[in-house]
Structure formats: structure tokens, C-alpha cells
Amino acid sequence: MQHPSPSSAPILPSKNAHLFTVDVEEHFQVSSFENHVPRSSWDGQPSRVARNVEVLLDLLARHDAKGTFFTLGWVAAKHPGIVRRIADAGHEVASHGWWHTRVTMTTPDAFREDVHSSKRLLEDQCGQPVIGYRAPSFSIVPGREWALDTLIEEGYRYDSSLFPIHRSGYGYPGAPAIPHVIRRPPGTLYELPPATTVVAGVRIPAAGGGYLRQFPFALIRRAFREHGARGIPGMFYIHPWEVDPRQPRIAVPLLTRVRHYRGLGRSLPAMERLLREFRFTSVAERFARFADPAVATAWPFAPV
Ligand SMILES: [Zn+2]
């Protein structure tokens, strides 16, 4: 493993740190597998998540970085030690829901139960308020804004589910590409979108592990430099299974297989580079839990 050298010190002061986030789920719980790995079989699948979270905790520790871990309630219930490990290492625990059900595939009542039960369990385990949420597959899409109301009513302070791009199945193309405040009838919610950049006039994602594995590193670097130059945190996200080239292969259609398994060996070296070049921290640390009004107004939040 490489360690950061003085010449590769972070180029940004910590107050301008970017956001490192992890969606904590098993390798068989991704949305593209949902028709191939039914929930009823989850208990019988080999578990890899604890080992893979350790890889990410080690990576962050070596770079003196912090992160936000959006954790599935299902994972927390089955492996309570994971949430405690994350919290003890100084990272933020947030919610990725309980069942990894996309908001496009659920009902308002089931969604409320999902975000309520996961928040409660995660708070019990980590001993801190859980104030952040990210929907599976960024599935708060136009028409599903009621989910934002539910999050506010259930005590969440920020969301990271609106991906300001156009994609089939997800994406909220009209949403601002920078952190902003969403004002809804029950209150307000801070929205923190994943980093994007514009190429040939088209806004493209530049923040996730899949893009880190499949896009040129220069494009990812450009996106984070653009954010840094504007004083805006760029949000990176990764899944534990993306640092696990030896995970069991699941029989899925070719395109899904390619998307899921291609380039898994490239994730860690690319993240080493990213963490050497840019400073990363958790949402809670960057925004001081949104408790200080001076902090909130210092950022380029803008109403939708
Ligand atoms: Zn997920």
C-alpha cells in the first residue's frame, strides 16, 4: 500500500474538504441484482460487507480522512459490530434505508417505516443522532418528492438522493448540482448531490465508484478541482463491494455483470490517488451537523 508523501499533501485546506461517502450494503443487495437475488435468500448468501468496510476504514485512516457511511438497517441488524467500528473510528453513520427498496418501488407508508426503523437502530448502535439519508440508487426522482417530506418529518436534516443528471431509472435532472436547501411544507432539508461535471455541454456523473473504475481518472480529478475552485464540496461515493475483486460472482445478465464486476481491481488504487490529491471528510464534520447558522450561511446553499 502506498502512503502519502509530503509532496502529495492534500491541496485543499481542511475547511474546503470534499465529502467521502460509502453506501454500506452487501455485494448481492445492489438494485441491479434485485430480480436475481430475492430478499428471501439474503440470509443464506456469503457475507463480505464487514471485511470490505474494514478495507475502507483502513484506507481512510491512512489518509487521515473521515467519511459518512450510509448504512442499511438490514446490515446493521445482522452485523452490529460494523456500525460501532465505523463510529469508533470517528466517521459519521447515516441511513441507506432498511431493505434497499428504491423509492420508485415503494409506498409512502412503507418508506416511512423503512427510514424510521433504520434511523432508530443505527442511532442505538452508534450512540449519535443519525441525520443523513441516501435512497437506494438515488431513487428520489421527479414525482417522488413526498419522500423528502417524510425524511423531514422523521427527523433527518440532510438528504443525498437527488442525482442532478438524466438517466433511465434514476436522476433528478432539474436539481441544482451543488449543495442546496430544499424547502417543503413540513420544513427544510439540506440536499447534498454527488459530484458531477459538464463535458461537451452535458452534465455527467463523476463521483461514484463505478465512474472511478470506468472513466479516466483525469475526469474525476477535474470534477473535484472544479468543486474546490468554487469552494463547494464535491461528493464522492463508493460501495464496500467495489473494493472486493474476489467477491462471489452471481449469475446475472451480461450487461449487469460487466457493470458490476468490471474494473473492481482499479477501485482502491484510484481512491488512493484521489485521497492523496484531495482532502475528504464526512458530511457531519464539513457542515458541523448544521448546528451553527454561520456555517450554513457560509456555503452556497440556494433554494430550489
Ligand atoms: Zn445502495
The pLDDT tens digits for 56-104 are: 999 999 999 999 999 999 999 999 999 999 999 999 999 999 999 999 9
Cα of 297 from ligand 1 centre, angstroms: 31
pTM (2 d.p.): 0.90
Cα of 86 from ligand 1 centre, angstroms: 17
Residue 178 DSSP one-character state? S
CB 133 within 8 A of CB 161: yes
Residues around ion ligand 1, judged by CB within 5 A, are: 23, 25, 136
Cα of 13 from ligand 1 centre, angstroms: 30
Cα of 8 from ligand 1 centre, angstroms: 32
Does position 14 have pLDDT exceeding 70, yes or no? Answer: no
| Residue 153 cell numbers, joined | 418529518
Cα of 239 from ligand 1 centre, angstroms: 8
Q: If 0-12 CB within 10 Å is exposed, 13-18 middle and 19+ buried, where does residue 266 land?
A: middle
| Residue 300 cell numbers, joined | 452556497
Residue pointed to by grid coordinates 438497517: 73
**Per-residue pLDDT tens for 187-209?**
888 899 999 999 998 888 888 88
Cα of 127 from ligand 1 centre, angstroms: 23
Q: Which of 6-10, 12-16, 48-52, 133-137 has the lowest mean pLDDT?
A: 6-10
